[in-house]
């Protein structure tokens, strides 16, 4: 990790966070380029010479500077919308290294993917396969597809980020997959390339992955018996990170378990959180301290519109003072924001010594932080900065109040 204390002040790589706050203001997202690159390479290098493609899941953090850093070192990309796709292309990513996931692909999205030579569409339903075939027929091109199979494996994660059960909206029931593969195989304008499987996010145990892998390998064997060749197996993402004291998956051991089972089959992985989660922090300022007989509240300038995960998932993020030597009021604090919602908090019951004006770092905020942010309560979205060694770069400027309504119009009466 590139976030550490140096002379009692929290640094991002070699840059003092306090200096970043003076330059860019609060609240602020800060990312470490070194961590992003190293995290991706850990996946890539674990495969050695085995055919593979590590596709970063853009939804985790879609800033084009982040995407450009990854594109430069050879990453592929997992996208779920045309907006993410265009971001990747604008950042220098290659369409031939992009896989298109998501349950509701539009005709426009399919056309654009085929126009620029996307690597593969991950098909989530028979209706979607029909639409892809219709668009490909009209354009007179063969659409590359894999089918996302739902293996009915319990990832044992938060229900909002579990995707591999029959009750989830994603994918095709594994028992129905053969018939859909046969339909795709018999189409003049569909090119069956792979099989896709993703069971959930923030997994900290390798066993659900292996359970799902064994099920889809059995399916691939059955498809081969029917003359349907599968060239690649996309096992999705979902590898968890350490937010608190979680046991996390050893990447090389996980990939090793995989490679012992798959033979020469090309593997695609789609990590997102594992690439950027611990590579970013969210920094916020204490505006007021408010205590009563029951609770101590640190009222901060960051809010649920800036970092939704605690309010939405009940997610835990470690919180560190920027100045670890600062002395203030010692108490067990709830860190609450300015939004007019009781659910507006970033952390609860944290033992901290605080004063008004202190800066606090909400750790492990690089994934699903800015990408899930909004303008709720008409709050401008915050700035983002990337640090590399002893240098820092603004990669998204802070929105202004004027930005909030630049695209809105007053109805002219009469």
What tokens appear for 32 in the block? 């470490």
Buried b (16+ CB within 10 A) or exposed e, 185-208: eebebbebbbbbbbbbbbbbebeb
- Reduced to 3 DSSP states, what percent helix, strand and coil does the chain have, rounded to the nearest 5? 35, 30, 40
Cα–Cα distance measured from residue 105 to residue 127, given in angstroms and rounded to the nearest whole number: 10
- C-alpha distances in Å from residue 17, one per residue of 218, 261, 283, 298, 359: 51, 45, 9, 20, 9
CB 361 within 8 A of CB 10: yes
Residues in the chain, overall count: 414
CB 61 within 8 A of CB 82: no
Instruction: Give the residue numbers annotated as catalytic, written as ranges.
Output: 340
Q: Is 145 left (phi over 0), alpha (psi -120 to 50) or beta?
A: beta
Cα–Cα distance measured from residue 129 to residue 400, given in angstroms and rounded to the nearest whole number: 43
Residue 228, SS3? Answer: coil
CB 375 within 8 A of CB 404: yes
What is the DSSP code string of 128-153? Answer: HHHHHHHHHHHHT-PEEEEEEEE---
Residue 186, SS3? Answer: coil
179 CB-contact burial (10 Å; exposed 0-12 / middle 13-18 / buried 19+): exposed
Backbone φ and ψ for 247, nearest 5 degrees, come out as -75, 130
Cα–Cα distance measured from residue 114 to residue 135, given in angstroms and rounded to the nearest whole number: 9
- Best CA proximity match to 307, nearest among 272, 331, 290, 283: 283
CB 147 within 8 A of CB 183: no
């Amino acid at each position: 990790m590139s976030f550490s204390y140096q002379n009692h002040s929290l640094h991002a790589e070699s840059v003092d966070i306090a200096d970043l706050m003076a330059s860019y203001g609060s609240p602020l997202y800060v990312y470490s380029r070194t961590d992003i690159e190293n995290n991706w390479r850990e996946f890539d290098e674990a495969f050695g010479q085995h055919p593979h493609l590590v596709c970063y899941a853009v939804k985790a953090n879609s800033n084009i500077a982040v995407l450009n850093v990854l594109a430069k070192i050879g990453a592929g990309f997992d996208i779920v919308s045309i907006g993410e796709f265009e971001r990747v292309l604008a950042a220098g990513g290659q369409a031939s290294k992009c896989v298109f996931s998501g349950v509701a692909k539009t005709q426009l999205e399919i056309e654009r993917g085929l126009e620029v030579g996307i690597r593969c569409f991950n098909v989530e339903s028979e209706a979607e396969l029909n639409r892809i075939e219709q668009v490909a027929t009209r354009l007179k091109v063969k659409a590359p597809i894999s089918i996302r199979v739902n293996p009915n494996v319990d990832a044992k994660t938060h229900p909002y980020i579990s995707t591999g059960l029959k009750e989830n909206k994603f994918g095709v029931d594994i028992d129905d997959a053969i018939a859909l593969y046969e339909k795709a195989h018999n189409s003049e304008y569909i090119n069956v390339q792979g099989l896709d499987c993703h069971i959930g996010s923030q997994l900290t145990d390798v066993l659900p992955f292996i359970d799902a892998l064994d099920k889809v390998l059995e399916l691939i064997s059955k498809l081969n018996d029917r003359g349907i060749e599968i060239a690649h197996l996309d096992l999705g993402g979902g590898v968890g990170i350490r937010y608190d004291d979680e046991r996390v998956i050893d990447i090389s051991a996980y990939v090793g378990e995989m490679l012992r089972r798959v033979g020469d089959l090309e593997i695609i992985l789609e990590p997102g959180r594992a690439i950027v989660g611990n590579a970013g922090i969210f920094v916020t300022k204490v505006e007021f301290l408010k205590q009563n007989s029951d609770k101590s509240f640190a009222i901060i300038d960051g809010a649920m519109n800036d970092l939704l995960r605690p309010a939405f998932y009940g997610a835990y993020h470690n919180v560190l003072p920027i100045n670890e030597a600062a002395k203030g009021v010692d108490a067990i604090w709830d860190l609450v924001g300015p939004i007019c919602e009781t659910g507006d908090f970033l952390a609860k019951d944290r033992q901290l010594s605080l004063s008004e004006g202190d800066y606090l770092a909400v750790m492990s905020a690089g994934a699903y932080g800015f990408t899930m942010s909004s303008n709720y309560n008409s709050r401008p979205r915050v700035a983002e900065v990337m640090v590399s060694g002893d240098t820092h770069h603004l990669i998204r400027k802070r929105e202004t109040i004027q930005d909030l309504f630049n695209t809105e119009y007053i109805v002219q009466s009469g």
